[in-house]
Structure 1
Amino acid sequence: MSALNIKIGATSHSAYDLRDHHPEVERSHTLTVLVDNESGVLARVIGLFSGRGYNIDSLTVAEVDHKGHRSRITIVTRGTEAVIDQIKAQLGRIVPVHEVIDLTVECTPVERELALFKVKGTGDKRVEALRLADIFRANVVDSTLESFVFEITGAPEKIDAFAELMRPLGLCDVARTGVAALPRGV
Structure 2
Amino acid sequence: MSAPDPTAQAPTQADLDAVRAQLGRVPRGVVAVAHRCPCGCPDVLTTAPRLPDGTPFPTTFYATCPRLTGAISTLESQGVMAEMTARLGEDADLAQRYAAAHEDYLARRTAVGQATGATVPEIDGISAGGMPTRVKCLHVLVAHSLAVGPGVNPLGDEALAMLDDWWADGCCIAGADGHAEAGE
TM over 0.5, yes or no? no
Q: Counting helix residues as a fraction of each chain, which structure ranks higher?
A: 2
Rg larger for? 1
Q: Counting strand residues as a fraction of each chain, which structure ranks higher?
A: 1
Higher relative contact order (CA 8 A, sep 6+): 2
TM-score tier by shorter-chain length is under 0.3
Q: TM-score, normalised by structure 1?
A: 0.26
